[in-house]
Structure formats: structure tokens, C-alpha cells
Amino acid sequence: MNEYWKKESWKINTQEALPYLPTPITVIESIFKFLYAKGLIKKGQRLVDLGAGDGRVIIYASEFYSLISLGLEINENLIKTAESEIKRKNLSDLCKIKEDDLFNYDISEMDIIYCFFLPSNYTYCSHVIKMVKSGGIVINIRWDLKKFKKYWRKSFKIKTDEHFPVYLYIKK
């Protein structure tokens, strides 16, 4: 297999295109409260965070909602941070972080897809959006995904704080 994502030059480029910006914990709490209130979340569902950073979203989802969570990340230091927190919280059965390319990973079995994409990434993430299964939930932080509106059955804007509006979509 061509493991291009292990090349240093590639890692630098992809992290320049999508740098590390963590979602504040209060925003994560609001998202999960919203999902729960709308009946959109159930124990045992599968969540993927595309560019998982320090693993805060996958850890939260497994710790408080018993979701089976996977994080894809390219930054080795962030992966190590997430791994040690997963271990410290005894969540290894439910929660994993993996070194892989978010733009080329098969997410077709996932129930909830958590993204923090920038508008400049939209060209590269269009095939990611296409891959989401029918009924799958896509969450994007800060920027809407209305460019992909033909794919959505329903959409919501979750009010958090003014710097972090959250957009939630259900795939047709």
C-alpha cells in the first residue's frame, strides 16, 4: 500500500490546509445535548472525527454517550495526547485514534461524522460528504455546508457561542 500520509512533506501540507483548532468543550457539550434532545443519538452508534486533534470529541462521545468513536489524525503529537487520555479514562474499548488521511478514509458505515472543515477544504471534502450513508449525521463547526445542500434531508443550526456556530445535517 502507498502510505503517502506517512511522508513529512504531505503532513505539513495537509496541516497547513487544515490546521489544529480545537472545539471548545462547552461547544462539544451543546452539540451532544442537542443531539440527545432531538433523539439523534443512541448508545453504540459509530462516530468518526475527521481530524480529531487531541481527541476531545471522540473521548467525550464515548465517555458520556457510550458511542463507538474513531478519530483520524495526522499529527503524531496530538495522536499521543489523545491515546494517553483514552488510556487514562479507560475508554480503549470504545474509543480509538488512528493515523490516517481524513480525505481518503472509508466512512460509509459511520452514523455521526464530526468535522471541523474550513471553506477552503470544501473541494477536497466533497467525496467525503458523498460517502456518508443515508440517514448519517454530519456536523461541521463554524462554517455551513450549504454548498452540498442537494445531499441533505434536514439541516439545523445549533446555537453555541457566537464564534462557534455549529451546523448539523442529515443525509438524504
Ligand X SMILES: C[S@@+](CC[C@H](N)C(=O)[O-])C[C@H]1O[C@@H](n2cnc3c(N)ncnc32)[C@H](O)[C@@H]1O
Residues at the site binding ligand X, with contacts judged by CB under 6 A: 14-15, 18, 20-23, 49, 51-53, 56-57, 72-75, 78, 101-103, 116
- Reported as type and span, the H/E element at residue 97 is strand 95-99
Q: How far apart are CA 29 and CA 24, in angstroms?
A: 9
Shortest distance, CB of residue 92 to ligand X, whole angstroms? Answer: 20
Q: How far apart are CA 98 and CA 100, in angstroms?
A: 6
Shortest distance, CB of residue 18 to ligand X, whole angstroms? Answer: 4
- HSE-CB at 27 with a 13 A cutoff on CA atoms is 23
Beta strands in 11-131 (DSSP E): 46-50, 68-73, 95-99, 112-115
For ligand X, the closer of residues 22 and 165 by Cβ is 22
Shortest distance, CB of residue 58 to ligand X, whole angstroms? Answer: 9
Q: Give the orientation angle of helix 25-37 with respect to helix 56-65, to 10 degrees.
A: 40
For ligand X, the closer of residues 41 and 128 by Cβ is 128
Per DSSP, the three-state class of 171 is strand
For ligand X, the closer of residues 143 and 152 by Cβ is 143
What's the alpha-carbon Rg for the chain, to the nearest Å? 15
Shortest distance, CB of residue 131 to ligand X, whole angstroms? Answer: 15
Shortest distance, CB of residue 7 to ligand X, whole angstroms? Answer: 12
For ligand X, the closer of residues 148 and 164 by Cβ is 164
For ligand X, the closer of residues 89 and 172 by Cβ is 89
Q: How far apart are CA 144 and CA 167, in angstroms?
A: 6
